[in-house]
A and B are shown apart, each in its own frame.
Chain A
């Protein structure tokens, strides 16, 4: 890990970060000054981390992350710290949405476009709205004179020093383990174009469409397909595509009347599988079991939440009896032979 950041510097950064978060956490009789001090210490810690990582990278001539990584990281970490230090739950939830949007930015930089937008829709749009609903449901309405008074629950943190110590020892350990580990990662076996285009063979129609748009396919031509597997005959390594003109032989069967190979020089730049193609194939081809498991988890969660949160309505006994009597008379007056069993004894006796 020496080539990424020196361990001593990493532990120093973690220590400063711990002090910053501990200062910023809510406490009794907290002054704004301490809070600002905490924020400044925290900013210093992460600034130091960014500086150290950047210096090491320039020293060894390695590339640095995209410029936009830095604002997203600052917003993400800043909003998550504000989330755990804010005294009002609604603001905490809103800061969490900000964290999510910042990490969506990082997903975009890591070329995971589909997940970035799915995250906004699912997290910010669905899960967080549920949280906001519950925050509003499960809070007492403030009485008019005590409007600005905070709940005792939200105003004081429990053991801030200890928790920050533990938390940032954990950052040190996780980052040490990961930075050591990424040196030993196996080399990526696929070439760049292979990784991007290995699913293209399974998408012959998409290839047809792109080639047509690029003017490489004339009328009646299409990409050659393997007879047994139905895969398109594309060589991703050599960047060649086999295309055929289908005609009919003397017996009226489909037959190849002419064929040609699109060479690497002609290979259009726009012919590449996008993130969604690759993700979809990965999900449905390689992890079909996971979809089933996810379905079961969601079903169980739905059942569990319904059972847990339902309200037991306790009716008074005489109210219950009155309801039953009303139902009973309603059916008996119509004289339709219904007996719901809730009726008074003499009424049921009469029926029998």
Chain B
């Protein structure tokens, strides 16, 4: 409980305190990585199970998000800014992917009047 109280005090003293990074132990890094892995898997499960193409692409965004969290956590571990720089790049790729994917969805919807991925079965092989 003491720990929680200290954290609240740190948060109250403002972001200026948090901005100064100190070394982070592995036991602090591990939960972030666990959350990142779980978010990635949830995105994967969503991509595999849902039939709506829009939600499938939304799930890929969730996977990007999970990768970004892992990058930031590892970057913080190394006290460097490389992780954050790579997240900028991930964001850029995610935006490009969203634009392309949504254009594709609109195109496919115009042809079949349906968002179902299985409406395009004959594209197999």
Contacts and interface: CB of A to CB of B under 8 A. Distances in A.
- Residue with the highest number of chain A CB atoms closer than 10 Å, among B31, B32, B70: B31
Nearest to A163: B48
Nearest to B78: A188
Contacts of A170: 37, 40-41, 44
B4 to A, nearest CB: 4
Contact of A192 (B23, B73, B105): B23
B89 A290 contact: yes
Contacts of B116: 152-153
Contacts of B93: 297
Contacts of A119: 68, 87, 91
Q: Which size class do B's interface residues fall under?
A: 35 or more
A203 to B, nearest CB: 14
B115 A171 contact: no
Interface in A149-178: 151-154, 156-160, 162-164, 166-168, 170-171, 174-175, 178
Interface in B23-52: 23, 25-35, 37-46, 48-52
A89 interface: yes
Contact of B96 (A49, A287, A300, A311): A300
A179 interface: yes
B27 A56 contact: yes
Given A83-B46, A112-B75, A290-B85, A174 B54 contact: no
Interface in A100-136: 100, 103, 106-115, 118-119, 122-123, 126-127, 130-131, 134-135
A111 B76 contact: yes
Given A106-B69, A123-B94, 19 more contacts: A4-B27, A25-B45, A53-B30, A53-B31, A66-B11, A76-B39, A80-B43, A103-B39, A106-B72, A122-B95, A130-B102, A138-B115, A154-B51, A166-B45, A174-B41, A275-B81, A293-B89, A298-B95, A301-B100
Interface of B: 3-4, 7-8, 10-11, 15, 18-23, 25-35, 37-46, 48-52, 54-55, 57-59, 61-62, 65, 68-70, 72-73, 75-85, 87-89, 91-100, 102-107, 109-110, 113-116
Interface of A: 3-5, 17, 21, 25, 46, 49-50, 53, 56-57, 60, 62-69, 73, 76-77, 80-81, 83-84, 89, 92-93, 96, 99-100, 103, 106-115, 118-119, 122-123, 126-127, 130-131, 134-135, 137-140, 151-154, 156-160, 162-164, 166-168, 170-171, 174-175, 178-179, 182-183, 185, 188, 190, 192, 195-196, 272, 274-275, 278-279, 281-283, 286-287, 290, 293-294, 297-298, 300-302, 304-306, 308-309, 311
